[in-house]
Structure 1
Amino acid sequence: MLKSYAAAVLALVVGLGSGLGSLPCAAVTAEAHTTQTASAPKVLRAFLSTGETGLDPAVASDIASLSLLENLFDPLLRYDYLARPVKLQANTLAAMPSVADDGRTYTFHLRQDVYFTDDPAFQGARRQVTAHDYVYSLKRLYDPALKSPWSFLLEGKIVGDAALKARFGYDGDIAGLQAVDKFTLRIRLNAADPNFLFYLAIPATGVVAREVVEAYGVQVGNHPVGTGPFKIGTWKRSDQISLLANRDFRPMFFQGRRLPLVDRVDIKIMEEYQSRVLGFLNGEFDFLEQLPESMKEMVLTGDAQPTLKPELARKGLVLSPFPVLQTYYMWMNMEDPLIGGYGKDKVALRRAIALSYNSAEDIAQMKKGLALRAETPLPPNVLGYDPAYRSPVGYDPALANALLDRHGYNKGPGGLRTLPDGKPLTLVMHTEPSMVGRLRDELWRKNLNAIGLRVTFKGDKKTEIIKASRLGTVMMFETNWVADFPDGDNFYQLLYGPNKAGPNYARFNLPAYNQRYEQTRTMGDSPARTRLYDEMAQIIHAYTPWVLLTHPISADVRQPWLRNYTRHPVEFTNWRYLDVDAHTRR
């Protein structure tokens, strides 16, 4: 990755806010609403890179499902579409919440024009959203039957929530989670949490109706009933999905026009990279986010500062490079009998694996220059990121070999190493059965074989791998994390010991790390917190539960007929704001 392009992209994201106003609020009068013409419906055409697993806000955690949930369900807050740096704004609230008790008490006044979409569970009634619905929805994150991957957001933070842990029930009162009246919600925290409002802007905290959940039971994720700008139309699992504009959606406006701006969103699941790019170039999709690195030559030219191929530029396509709040890493199971543990021999094995990773080759050949080397878990532009920090672990196969020799991982026949007790040593890395997955397998095989480590690959769908990871049955897996909110806490919590049944797939549990993490949770963005983050990064490099890989730079391309397109750093989709010009669309 040449520095000139990286610098240009980072400057771009900082400058996005200049000249862009905030999203016009819902108070814009109905007279400003421009109605759709009676002509053919406006259809936005998009794709998702993986299949959805289910549409229950409390349960779903994959990007495809979250992208859909963002458009079907409503948390209390959302991000201003255009504001940079990112800024929260009221969503189902009449105004931003009031804060008291030194940041421990929040009072939310709900809008009174928020309704669930029609469903037989409501028995013909038009179902208004109340504060009680949000109490119920937030309690669902604690429900042991759901095993919500989002429980870590709230557990131990809300006054009295220990009762939910001891004996869960939806009907009992919790002191810190109260519907004061029909449209007033009050949340009291045990301690101030600078990121608390960010939690209330993610799909997991979207409002659901109790009668819908009880009507459909374990199948509720197959019957999404929300309050968002869209509702489910057709749904062919992990293949094609259509979202229909919810024309009962409360008055929300963008540039004087009522949201959503299109009548339908047609979504295809496109797992193969080549199919996505060819589909976009053929006009089947209105935009292409995160151009696959292996397909770069089909769309871009140049290395120092990639640009669109001249023939595509002449067609009016627009390129927007975008630094994603995302970190790629390869985690190793700290409880696995072969690779896990905190003893010197196990640390040496994992450290050698990290030293075998050639980041320069990965970025140049696999990422095609569209990435930055990851020094810490934090990507640039996340609060707490330290641009001066440099990882002490670099590509050094000679040091990796010396480390393995010193700790008894001796070479046997064929130059492959054994365990210190002489037994065979075979690493097992889970992988996704795709073209890119196979290419990455070969990169890892070459790197690991170079230091005498045998590795085999076990292919499966990512959703299945994640399920197995939460059970602790996966040894190693390369994955990535996209920011749920733009703060370092969202990344460093991935290695917090108590989260090992959730997003801490490495099952890392070290007191020195946990203590520092707990300290940072009560701190706002500050030099003192950044110093603690740097210490946590040093612990990660010392014990190596992760091999830190890259932060991608997304090459986003859009068709000339797409209007209002701006990539948001945190939210997964911008579908409600997008419009298409039917006169120029082909």
Structure 2
Amino acid sequence: MCGPGAIRATPFRSLAKAWVLVSALASASWAFAAEPAASSAGVGANNHSAQSAKVLRYAFQIAETGFDPAQISDDYSRTITPHIFEALYAYDYLAMPVKVIPLTAAGLPEIANDFKTWTIHLKPGIYFVDDPAFHAAHDTNSTNSARRLKPGERRELTAEDYVYSLKRFADPTINAPLYANVEELGIQGLLALRKQAMAAKRALNYDTPIEGLKALDRYTLQIKLNQPRPRLLETLAASDLYGAVAREVVEFYGDRIMEHPVGTGPFVLSQWRRSSFIVLEKNPAYRERYYEADPAPGDAEGQAMLAHFKGRRIPMIDRVEISIIEESQPRWLSFLNSEHDLSFIVPPEFINIALPGNKLAPNLAQRGMKLQRTLTPDEAFTFFNMEDPVVGGYTPDKVALRRAISLGLDVEREIRQVRRGQAVLAQSHVVPHTSGYDPAYRSEMSLYDPARANALLDTYGYVDRDGDGWRDMPDGSPLVLEVATQPDSLSRQYDELWQRSFNALKIKVRFFPGKWPEQMKAARAGKLMLWMMGNAANSSDGQEALQYLYGPQAGNQNISRFRLKEFDNLYERMQVIPDSPERDALFLQAKRLQAAYMPIKTHVHRYRNDLTQPWLIGYRRPVFRSEFWHFVDIEKK
């Protein structure tokens, strides 16, 4: 795939190339990629000729939204940010079961006061990539310790940067979509500071000290919590959200900060055409960091990777180019024509061709391609807006409507026809590879029973009152479901399947398409009735998925706006106790409540099939989060 300004003067070899060129020309009038992001200062030293540079190329099927950790929530933006920013901890790339290791921290936390006090020491000598923001004048009235740097002077990462970065989530002027995640941690004084800002209708006062977030010295961070949080370490391993952001950079760029990510990580944003093309370059000033991993003794593939790469300085590639290609055909052809090095999820439409019998097709194997097929810790689900006058509510008739819809959706057909067998039936919102997941658990969630669904609708008054052949509401008004969808060919296949299921229930349905980012905004604002979407776990704690049902998360992770005191009490109890049989019992109760009230219909847990070209070495899909660029290499003969 060619980047802007570097289109090859060769004939098109495929529909994919033609599509990419048309897309690039169509977007040229509004793209700002010709102007490198401010964070690319100094990247020029890392530019190589086309012949010598090691470039990783692949595609997203859905567009990013931006690159400020405090303002993003989508998986695609969150694939970019952990390669730019760095959290205190990370996951070992090869370890299974997963293992948290220090990243910018000097070691594991010192934990005291029953998991309520966490003290973390940082490694000295970690620096942000150079940026004009560090050399500009700063507000002298602020207690922020940052100062204007002299030419050639580097900005070191300090404990105060993590204090500031965590506080940003509580700033009401930012409206961080995942603020509720931070509020759940119960950092002492943070909620009170946020309420002060909200009462005054102004930005958070970052200079006001709070007991829960302190820089004890330049390299020591202390976090104090209101309640025990035994699993805080996994939260602190999220570079996509909790990586360090420099205050000077945020203040310098203001409302353009989504375009100017500046971190300490291995890559730097170089070019960006919104919803079209993203380029990152290797950080030329990245500290000396070497490939280390801890694969299990029986993990032959992991042991081979470790033997091949151990001791190599990372990152090993020079550049990453990501194209946004929503339609499956051009995305797949780009990979087949060697324009992409990785097919990050083989499109369902091509599964039978690429993976007959879930095995790599002989013609692709002969080309040296490799397959990784993984049952991932994710889910596809349909949420019902619990505040919607048609499908929302907690009365028996509303519960019956949602349960009938769930029973009437033929998810096994969905798996066979649309997903091409690349999923398993889900029994709850808790996903594989996480605590609380029980492969033996069964619930109504996975049942397909249209006869029972129709009987439920009849019993609770959803009958055809005007003789037009379609069911009406119990009060006689029309029953019409408004289903959000996307304008791509794969989404249309799901729509056709849903139409068939609703026809069998004699429920009228109206589909309205929209781009994924716009639909997501509408969903968070409570403007969608129901929509099918996906979620991937960020850690091994299964409670993370249950945020989608936790009342205080309504409008954030709780996209359905489900509020049930009984569920909230379970959730809050689960937060403070260690992993144990007692906690497993709480998971079971929570799963039963989901099936009973059906605010979310969890369809499937998905297999992900990743294909790599023979020259992409060292790739393994991370179990949690998509952070892998600095662990792979391009080795062409």
Asked if structure 1 preserves the Cα contact closer than 8 Å seen for 2:280 and 2:320, the reply is yes
Q: CA–CA distance in 2 between the matches of 1:379 and 1:543?
A: 19
Alignment of 1:14-53 (within 5 A): 40-53=52-65
Asked if structure 1 preserves the Cα contact closer than 8 Å seen for 2:88 and 2:105, the reply is yes
Q: CA–CA distance in 2 between the matches of 1:449 and 1:377?
A: 27
**1:551 and 2:579 correspond:** no
Q: CA–CA distance in 2 between the matches of 1:582 and 1:37?
A: 16
**Structure 1 counterpart of 2:216, which letter?**
V
- Deviation, structure 1 residue 408: 0.8
What is the aligned partner in structure 2 of residue 171 from structure 1? Answer: 207
**Structure 1 counterpart of 2:173, which letter?**
A
Alignment of 1:243-258 (within 5 A): 243-254=280-291, 255-258=310-313
- Deviation, structure 1 residue 36: 12
- Deviation, structure 1 residue 269: 1.1
Q: CA–CA distance in 2 between the matches of 1:352 and 1:37?
A: 59
Q: CA–CA distance in 2 between the matches of 1:36 and 1:164?
A: 45
Identity among equivalent pairs (%): 42
What is the aligned partner in structure 2 of residue 348 from structure 1? Answer: 400
Q: CA–CA distance in 2 between the matches of 1:197 and 1:204?
A: 14
- Deviation, structure 1 residue 563: 0.8
- Deviation, structure 1 residue 272: 1.1
Indicate which of 172, 175, 186 corresponds to 1:144: 172
What is the aligned partner in structure 2 of residue 395 from structure 1? Answer: 448
Asked if structure 2 preserves the Cα contact closer than 8 Å seen for 1:495 and 1:508, the reply is yes
- Deviation, structure 1 residue 573: 3.0
What is the aligned partner in structure 1 of residue 434 from structure 2? Answer: 382
Q: CA–CA distance in 2 between the matches of 1:415 and 1:229?
A: 61
**1:234 and 2:286 correspond:** no
**Structure 1 counterpart of 2:409, which letter?**
Y
Are the structure 2 counterparts of residues 213 and 512 from structure 1 closer, same or farther at C-alpha, using a change threshold of 3 Å? same
**Structure 2 counterpart of 1:469, which letter?**
A
Indicate which of 552, 563, 572 corresponds to 1:498: 552
Q: CA–CA distance in 2 between the matches of 1:504 and 1:344?
A: 22
Alignment of 1:63-74 (within 5 A): 63-74=75-86
Q: C-alpha deviations, 1:90-143, integer Å up to 9, x for none?
A: 111112222122211111111112111111111144111111111000000111
Asked if structure 1 preserves the Cα contact closer than 8 Å seen for 2:348 and 2:419, the reply is yes
- Deviation, structure 1 residue 194: 2.1
What is the aligned partner in structure 2 of residue 220 from structure 1? Answer: 257
**1:367 and 2:419 correspond:** yes
**Structure 2 counterpart of 1:134, which letter?**
Y
What is the aligned partner in structure 1 of residue 350 from structure 2? Answer: 295
Alignment of 1:80-229 (within 5 A): 80-123=92-135, 124=151, 125-155=153-183, 157-168=186-197, 169-202=205-238, 203-229=240-266
- Deviation, structure 1 residue 516: 0.7
**Structure 1 counterpart of 2:516, which letter?**
K
**1:541 and 2:595 correspond:** yes
What is the aligned partner in structure 1 of residue 295 from structure 2? Answer: none
Q: CA–CA distance in 1 between the matches of 2:157 and 2:432?
A: 38
Q: CA–CA distance in 2 between the matches of 1:186 and 1:513?
A: 32
Structure 2, gaps ≥5 residues long: 1-45, 136-150, 198-204, 292-309
Q: CA–CA distance in 1 between the matches of 2:602 and 2:274?
A: 34
> Which stretch shifts more, 317-326 or 525-534?
525-534
**Structure 2 counterpart of 1:200, which letter?**
L
**Secondary structure of 1:63's match?**
coil
Structure 1, gaps ≥5 residues long: 1-34
Q: CA–CA distance in 2 between the matches of 1:397 and 1:292?
A: 30
Q: CA–CA distance in 2 between the matches of 1:386 and 1:418?
A: 39
Q: CA–CA distance in 1 between the matches of 2:166 and 2:313?
A: 29
Q: CA–CA distance in 2 between the matches of 1:44 and 1:286?
A: 6
Q: CA–CA distance in 2 between the matches of 1:388 and 1:319?
A: 28
**1:313 and 2:365 correspond:** yes
**1:528 and 2:596 correspond:** no
**Secondary structure of 1:404's match?**
helix
What is the aligned partner in structure 2 of residue 334 from structure 1? Answer: 386
- Deviation, structure 1 residue 372: 0.7
What is the aligned partner in structure 2 of residue 408 from structure 1? Answer: 461
- Deviation, structure 1 residue 380: 1.8
- Deviation, structure 1 residue 359: 1.8
- Deviation, structure 1 residue 548: 1.4
Asked if structure 1 preserves the Cα contact closer than 8 Å seen for 2:167 and 2:190, the reply is no
**Structure 1 counterpart of 2:57, which letter?**
R
**Secondary structure of 1:142's match?**
coil
Q: CA–CA distance in 1 between the matches of 2:341 and 2:63?
A: 19
Q: CA–CA distance in 2 between the matches of 1:233 and 1:94?
A: 30
- Deviation, structure 1 residue 221: 0.6
**Count of residues in Structure 1 that have an aligned counterpart in Structure 2:** 546
Alignment of 1:411-422 (within 5 A): 411=464, 412-422=466-476
Q: CA–CA distance in 2 between the matches of 1:36 and 1:401?
A: 64
- Deviation, structure 1 residue 153: 2.3
| TM, length-normalised to structure 2 | 0.84
Asked if structure 1 preserves the Cα contact closer than 8 Å seen for 2:344 and 2:610, the reply is yes
Indicate which of 260, 264, 268 corresponds to 2:323: 268
